[in-house]
Structure 1
């Protein structure tokens, strides 16, 4: 599996980035995970098709080529950061590359709740018509008290959370396989479907 992991913050020091970096190393035998920084994108504005920033086009292409997407979000005032919302607005307004794309949401925060409200907010956004991502149901990875969650080597030290992360990632790989198969069958059925007017003799 090839996954694009989006770092949903413009903070230079972030436990959400550390979480994705750890996942990249932890699951390297079962998946290739590439990190993408939304801080590289300009703030959203209504551009015409000839003015789409190169960074936005790059993000869209990376999403298209990925089997699935992992988004790590912190929580600011019970919501996702503006920089992540801006990135999603670019995708919605331009390529709509997230439509039918399997997405896993994870999040880390300094508090005990682990970005739970931000993740709920992000699910609502990703369910909008122009994004329409395929979100794995009944899944969330909440890493609370994240400032103490990693050692000097960037290894997750909370054993209960480590086991939880392993399980949710296994489920996401399976979910991705099922969605890819479903979409392939859906495309085949649509391509082979014949309408009444196509089957009637002239």
Structure 2
């Protein structure tokens, strides 16, 4: 499996980035995980012409080529960061590259709740008609007290959380495989979608 792991923050120091970096290393024998930073994407605004910004096109291309997407989100005021919302708005408004794409949501926070409300918020957004991602059901990976969760080598040291992450990732690989097979058997072809500005 090839997965694109999206770092859902523009912070230079983030335990969500550390979580994805650990997953990339820890699951290297099971999947190829590429980390992607969204902090360099332009803030979303309706373009005056039909040109998709280069960085947005790059992200869309990587999503389309991946078997699935892993998103790590922190929690700001019970919601996802503005930079992640902006990135998703670009995808929704332009390429809709997340349509039918298997997605696993994970999150880390300094508090005890592990970004639970932000993850619920992200699920709502990804389920919207113009994104329509295939979100793995009944799955939450909530890493609380994340400032103490990693050693100097970037390894996750909470043994209970490591076991939980192993199980969730195995399920996601299976979910990805099942989703791909399901979509191959779809008899209804997707209608050609136009960008909002083309309608």
Paired position in structure 2 for 1:58 = 58
Deviates more, 1:48-57 or 1:4-13: 48-57
C-alpha separation in 2, matches of 1:175 and 1:158: 25
**Where does structure 1 lack aligned partners over 5 or more consecutive residues?**
192-202
Task: Name the larger-Rg structure.
Answer: 1
Paired position in structure 1 for 2:160 = 160
Paired position in structure 2 for 1:116 = 116
Shift in Å, 1:8: 0.1
Paired position in structure 1 for 2:68 = 68
C-alpha separation in 2, matches of 1:139 and 1:147: 23
Cα RMSD (Å): 0.9
Paired position in structure 2 for 1:147 = 147
Paired position in structure 1 for 2:134 = 134
**Where does structure 2 lack aligned partners over 5 or more consecutive residues?**
190-199
C-alpha separation in 1, matches of 2:188 and 2:128: 24
How many aligned residue pairs are there? 189
- What is the SS of the residue equivalent to 2:56? helix
TM-score, normalisation: structure 1 = 0.92
Paired position in structure 2 for 1:11 = 11
C-alpha separation in 1, matches of 2:131 and 2:20: 22
Runs of 4+, deviation exceeding 3 Å: none
TM-score, normalisation: structure 2 = 0.93
